[in-house]
Structure 1
Amino acid sequence: MSLVVYTAAFLLVVAAMLLRRSRRTPRTPLTVPTRATALLGAVCFTCAAPATLAAVNRATGIPNVGAPITYSSISAFSCSLIILLIHWRGGPQDRIRRMVQWSIAVYGALIIAICVLFALADARAERLTDLDTYYANTPYMREMIVLYLVGHLASTIVLSVVCLRWARDEVTGLLRIGLRLILAGLLLDVVGFELAKSTAVVARWCGYDLDVLSTTVAPPAASLGALIYSAGFVLPRLASAAAERQNLINYRALRPLWSALRDLTTTPKAEPQWWQLWWQLPSSRLYLLEANIHDALLQLSAQFDQHVGRTAYAAAVRRGATEEVARINSEKAMIIDGILRASGQTDGLPDPPDNFRITLDLVDLANAVNRVRASPPDRVQA
């Protein structure tokens, strides 16, 4: 059994390492809860391994002291799952903070109660695989076992209810897959671990021996269930990290374009400084930068020349481009020509369009502007 739980612990550590944040990637609200959940899951399974229990008992000289440590780690893991779901769903920061504090308070009290009950109990006979059933009728040990099972069951019920309600909403992609994995893992946890453990304990209360459910069925079911619903939490986090990384790439790609426009216009009046932006997510930085660029381009539209746009459009059509591609080339040529004219690199009076609307991709425009600034032509055409 030790091999099974050690394998689960190892996979959870790998998941935590995969979620490691790059130094260049700002921390998101989900970074810490996701990694903490994976690491707590690894600690939980490591503590539950019979080999670990035996080593802890020998090191401390206290028989079965590994049991409250394991039950406490299970409770902490259950709490971390609820906290992760709270952050995952999002909402007002005050509400998130309040719910997280309540979760920590409830499970913190549960962990204290587990430790106190163990200290009051008489559990001198070391049991590494069947402690739950062996001490099912022992005062204080009985209450401790019931308490950790109820605490874990409560977290699975809360998670299941919230995920089912959320699944009714229109969710797609990795988020939908993640929800399904969470529900599948929770179902396996309830049936394979909670039901098996509880049935074995209740059987002892009634004078029957169904210890095989607790010692043989529950451990692998708990390991597999935890891996499945942990994967469900990790998948959307990976998608979020990938999206933020792409936002950061786009933000950096647009910085040179903003540098080219900033000195040519008077909009915006006050650009946020780096110390006002460093803590924000790349998506927030990108949104603000795109808004500044759009404002600057609209103000610069008086320098645009319709003739340049028509020439670029005709050239693109002659090359066999579609109407959409030709229109984008026309818009791009007018903008680049307007930037060069405003900076004094081209001559002539502009003939601005009556109504100008920005529709092209700003990153594509930034790349084109960079190429032109590297070797500016006398006149931008196609």
Structure 2
Amino acid sequence: MTGDLVFFVSGGMLFLACLLKLPAVVRTRGRDWLLSSICALLLVGSGVLFLTAPSAVTFLRRATGVTNIAVPAIYILLTAFSGASIVLVLNWRGGPDILQTRRLSRLTIWIYGTCCVLIAVLFALGNTPVEERFRFDTYYATTPYIREMIALYVVAHAAATFTASRLCWRWSHEVHGTLRTGLRILAAGYLMHYAGYDPAVAVAVGARWAGHNWDFLIEFARLMTAPSAVLVAAGFMIPLLGQRGEEAVRYWQLGPLAHALRPVEGASSPVLLALPWWRPHMRLRLTQRQTFISDRIVSCKGYFDARIRDEARAAALARGAAHETASAIAEAAMIAAAVELHRHCSREGFTPAPAESGQNVGHTADLAHISRVVRSPIVRDMKRRVRTDARA
């Protein structure tokens, strides 16, 4: 069971990533090529790792009664995984010519689908009476039809991993953030395949053709399988989870500002949809919070006073704050003061003339930055002073 753990954990990571994308595929009914290719790749990849576990190989042989049946099954899944990798990267990157991307995707599917069929046919035509769990490639390297199956698999796999790694690396230079990180991890994972696994298998098989025994290379190739699979799984999951993580962080960062604007009455509010507990919908929650904040800032716009902003900025700079932080504190103080005036005037039933220099907010600081400083001492002091003045 210990030997199976790495394969099951790696496969579970891919399967988890597939489950995260599956609801979106169902909603689009498979019409989104990008989502469909992601799910296909992750599902096939998890199947490869689950089936590669030693206990799974034994179970499959006993269940079917066919000697070495796990080998063509793994080859077919790995070949399908290779083709799905290229299709995914093509659709993930996109481009101005959507039809060209679709044509290349269909061509890749056709080529690798044909390779999968040929692997099954060649295995059926060949003869593998001796069960070889670890040295199948070299043991049957000279067996008719089986040698062609092995060569077809290695060539198809190496070509796909090289193409996918190159596409991911080149694309990573054009993007930033978690997407760049994920692409470079993917490139490294595919690199371990075509620069480590595939050459080791090819050289070991070629040595058998030449009458030599270099079976130790097969063990080296097996050692490359799990780490490369983990890198590929992480490469796909990091952009997916990274985007949700960034949305969750921003939602949390905007919390203090949303709380500070809550006393503003009369502003329109976004319709809060019922969100199931098993689907976080963080992007929708973030949109709702941003809309909540924007509507209340618009309602308070007539109460913005540039004098309060300038005074708060000067106070922040005097206390040693950086210019960016001082700008955020200044706008936070202006918003807090406007909220106090708006609440006081609404309670008293009248609306005074707006300040001479009503200002728009958000030009000098990001809303998340403003939210981080909205509870600073300068903002609290300004808010307290405006409340006292309003009562007087």
Regarding TM over 0.5, the answer is: yes
Q: 1:346 to 1:191 in 2, by over 3 A?
A: same
Q: Give 1:373's aligned residue.
A: none
Give structure 2 stretches of 5+ with no counterpart.
Answer: 26-31, 376-382
Distance 1:314 1:189 in 2: 56
Q: Give 2:222's aligned residue.
A: 219
Q: Give 1:145's aligned residue.
A: 150
Q: Give 2:359's aligned residue.
A: 356
Is residue 9–residue 46 contact of structure 1 (8 Å, CA) maintained in 2?
yes
Structure 2 residue 116 is matched with structure 1 residue 118: no
Q: Percent identity?
A: 28
**Structure with the greater relative contact order (CA < 8 A, sep ≥ 6): 1 or 2?**
1
Q: Write the letter of the residue equivalent to 2:113.
A: G
Q: Write the letter of the residue equivalent to 2:301.
A: S
Structure 2 residue 61 is matched with structure 1 residue 63: no
TM-score of the two chains, using structure 1 as the length reference:
0.72
Kindly state the Cα deviation for residue 234 of structure 1 after the two structures are TM-superposed. 3.0
Q: Write the letter of the residue equivalent to 1:209.
A: N
- 1:211-268 alpha-carbon deviations (Å, 9 max, x no partner): 3322x22111222222234333333333222113234556888777888768447xx9
Distance 2:105 2:255 in 1: 35
Is residue 332–residue 365 contact of structure 1 (8 Å, CA) maintained in 2?
no
Distance 2:186 2:48 in 1: 18
Q: Write the letter of the residue equivalent to 2:9.
A: L
Q: 1:296 to 1:92 in 2, by over 3 A?
A: farther
Kindly state the Cα deviation for residue 176 of structure 1 after the two structures are TM-superposed. 4.5
Q: Write the letter of the residue equivalent to 1:165.
A: R
Q: Give 1:107's aligned residue.
A: 112
Is residue 71–residue 114 contact of structure 1 (8 Å, CA) maintained in 2?
yes
SS of residue in 1 equivalent to 2:387 = coil
Q: 1:381 to 1:367 in 2, by over 3 A?
A: farther
Q: Write the letter of the residue equivalent to 1:128.
A: R
Q: 1:330 to 1:353 in 2, by over 3 A?
A: farther
Alignment RMSD (CA, Å): 4.8
- 1:15-74 alpha-carbon deviations (Å, 9 max, x no partner): 347759789xx9699888767655543431332345433332222112221111111221
Distance 2:88 2:115 in 1: 19
- Aligned partner of 1:72 among 69, 76, 94: 76
Is residue 86–residue 100 contact of structure 1 (8 Å, CA) maintained in 2?
yes
* Matches for 1:1-382 after TM superposition, within 5 Å: 4=3, 6-16=4-14, 37=41, 40-86=44-90, 88-89=92-93, 103-169=108-174, 171=175, 174-214=178-218, 216-249=219-252, 263-264=266-267, 274=273, 282-283=282-283, 286=286, 290=290, 294=294, 297-298=297-298, 300-304=300-304, 309=308, 313=312, 324=327, 327-340=330-343, 343-345=346-348, 347=350, 349-359=352-362, 362=367, 380=387
Is residue 47–residue 70 contact of structure 1 (8 Å, CA) maintained in 2?
yes
Distance 1:94 1:42 in 2: 29
Distance 1:192 1:365 in 2: 50
Residue range with higher mean Cα deviation, 178-187 or 112-121: 178-187
SS of residue in 2 equivalent to 1:225 = helix
Kindly state the Cα deviation for residue 80 of structure 1 after the two structures are TM-superposed. 4.2
Give structure 1 stretches of 5+ with no counterpart.
Answer: 370-375
SS of residue in 1 equivalent to 2:13 = helix
